[in-house]
């Protein structure tokens, strides 16, 4: 029931899987919560594939079925085709769930369609879909074709299967300290490969003292690395700016490093509720605390040429975080990129205007899509593009021309893109 309610929130309300899961599994024991998480994440990851199978098995379009019934069938298909759940148990459990969650009247159609799904195994369905659908090969990778095409444009063809496979593997959570407030040794586990601020540890992060006290948090190593990269090349003396700081992970890391070198961070976030998350992430720092404001990054709430280092983690399609956000691959559309690109251009122009001459700007996206990355940076003016990969010489195979590009299959991180730019113009 927890998995079903989570999936309904994702399907009907555009909820984020991780937030909806936390809400609906908070009263379950650890084992049941883990199984509900497996059900939801796996179903979301293969949603397009399961929809094609359900439509084929039922001999009818999904639009002819009640939305709640579609979600029930998706959960059942995942148990039948991707988990080690016996067919009779998966069908019976889903029919019982249908009875309790929707009503007796839908149990017949759920039972009939799932029995037809169970008539073939995963390989059998792969063969049938190849005969029925021109998009079968994309569906079998659990990715829409347009996302595969976007990856193929910027990645060597030989690596594409490995990337798609890595996208389908649940990531191991990475922990990060707030510099100056905690030591990596407090996190337990194994230090991360390249970031000096984090570790991989088993168990629930919330049980660690450093996490409970706000002296550490959860953050993918890729996000740690691109924030660290901004701090490594030379830059003028002066305050730092995080232009789109929500939900606060990069700001929390930057604030600690800034304090260690004797300066302060201003963290800005458009949405007040996300600005509140940033403030919470920074709350453990002593006075004078980093400053957090709710402001539109395209309309500067600060003087021009004020900041020595500027972080712009631009709003993007999130195609680089499909491991952690399994629902995003079927929710996003090419039109979303069309809508985001003008905003990315405007925010980068604002970040450049905020930087001092000689100052550094980090343009970051959690997407490798060419239109959101290289094309945005190459259209900017008033800056010189630096060799971003050289700012992180510890990390192998990360150069994408003058930019840095991390990949799940190469680095075990989100596919973070980083451009490092130096503001040109007179310094006096």
Instruction: Answer for the pair 139, 129: CB distance below 8 angstroms, yes or no.
Output: yes
Active-site choice (44, 244, 316, 366): 366
Q: Label residue 336 exposed, middle or buried (CB < 10 Å: 0-12, 13-18, 19+).
A: middle
Catalytic site includes residue 366: yes
| Residue 239 exposed, middle or buried by CB count within 10 Å (0-12, 13-18, 19+) | middle
> Three-class SS string for the chain?
CHHHHHHHHHHHHCCCHHHHHHHHHCCCCHHHHHHHHHHHHHHHHCHHHHHHHHHHHHCCCHHHCCHHHHHHHHHHHHHHHCCCCCHHHHHHHHHHHHHHHCCHHHHHHHHHHHHHHHCCCHHHHHHHHHHHCCCHHHHHCCCCHHHHHHHHHHCCHHHHHHHHHHHCCCCCCEEEECCCCCCHHHHCCEECCCCCCEEECCCCHHHCHHHHCCCEEECCHHHHHHHHHHCCCCCCCCCEEECCCCCCHHHHHHHHHHHHCCCCEEEEECCHHHHHHHHHHHCCCCCCCCEEEECCCCCCCCCCCCEEEEEEECCCCCHHHCCCCCCHHHHCCHHHHHHHHHHHHHHHHHHHHHEEEEEEEEEEECCCCHHHCHHHHHCCCCEEECCHHHHCCCCCCCEECCEEECCHHHHCCCCCEEEEEEECCCCC
Neighbours of 160 (CB within 10 A): 15
- What is each CA distance from 150 to 48, 111, 112, 160, in whole angstroms? 18, 38, 38, 11
Residue 387 CA from chain centroid, whole number: 25
Which residues make Cβ contacts (< 8 Å) with residue 1, sequence separation at least 6?
A: 97, 100, 101
Residue pair 391/420 in contact (Cβ under 8 Å)? The answer is: yes
Question: Which residues are designated catalytic?
Answer: 366
């Amino acid at each position: 029931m927890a998995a079903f309610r989570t999936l309904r929130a994702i399907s009907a309300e555009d909820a984020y899987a991780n937030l909806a899961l936390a809400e609906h599994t908070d009263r379950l024991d650890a084992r049941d919560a883990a199984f509900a998480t497996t059900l939801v994440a796996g179903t979301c990851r293969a949603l397009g594939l399961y929809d094609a199978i359900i439509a084929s098995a039922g001999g009818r379009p999904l639009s002819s079925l009640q939305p709640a019934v579609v979600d029930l069938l998706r959960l059942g298909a995942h148990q039948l085709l991707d988990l080690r759940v016996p067919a009779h148990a998966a069908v019976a459990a889903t029919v019982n769930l249908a009875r309790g969650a929707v009503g007796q009247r839908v149990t017949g159609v759920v039972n009939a369609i799932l029995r037809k799904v169970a008539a073939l195994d995963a390989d059998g369905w792969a063969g049938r879909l190849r005969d029925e659908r021109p998009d079968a090969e994309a569906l079998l990778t659990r990715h829409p074709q347009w996302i595969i095409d976007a990856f193929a444009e910027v990645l060597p063809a030989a690596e594409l299967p490995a990337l798609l496979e890595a996208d389908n593997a649940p990531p191991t959570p990475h922990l990060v300290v707030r510099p100056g407030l905690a030591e990596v040794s407090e996190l337990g586990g194994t230090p991360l490969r390249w970031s000096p601020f984090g570790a991989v540890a088993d168990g629930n992060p919330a049980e660690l003292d450093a996490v409970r006290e706000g002296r550490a948090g959860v953050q993918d190593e890729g996000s740690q690395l691109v924030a660290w990269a901004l701090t490594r090349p030379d830059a003028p003396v002066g305050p730092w700016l995080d232009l789109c700081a929500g939900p606060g992970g990069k700001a929390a890391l930057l604030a600690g490093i800034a304090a260690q070198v004797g300066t302060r961070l201003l963290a800005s976030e458009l949405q007040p509720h996300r600005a509140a998350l940033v403030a919470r992430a920074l709350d453990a720092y002593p006075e004078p605390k980093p400053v957090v404001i709710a402001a539109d990054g395209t309309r500067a709430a600060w003087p021009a040429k004020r900041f020595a280092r500027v972080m712009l983690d631009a709003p993007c399609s999130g195609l680089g975080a499909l491991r952690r956000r399994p629902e995003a691959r079927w929710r996003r559309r090419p039109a979303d990129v069309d809508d985001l690109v003008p905003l990315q251009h405007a925010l980068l122009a604002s970040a450049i205007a905020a930087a001092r001459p000689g100052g550094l700007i980090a343009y970051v996206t959690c997407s490798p899509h060419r239109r959101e990355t290289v094309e945005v940076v190459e259209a900017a003016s008033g800056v010189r593009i630096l060799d971003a990969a050289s700012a992180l010489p510890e990390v192998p195979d990360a150069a994408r021309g003058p930019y840095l590009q991390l990949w799940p299959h190469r680095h075990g991180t989100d596919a973070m893109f980083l451009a490092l730019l130096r503001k040109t113009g007179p310094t006096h």
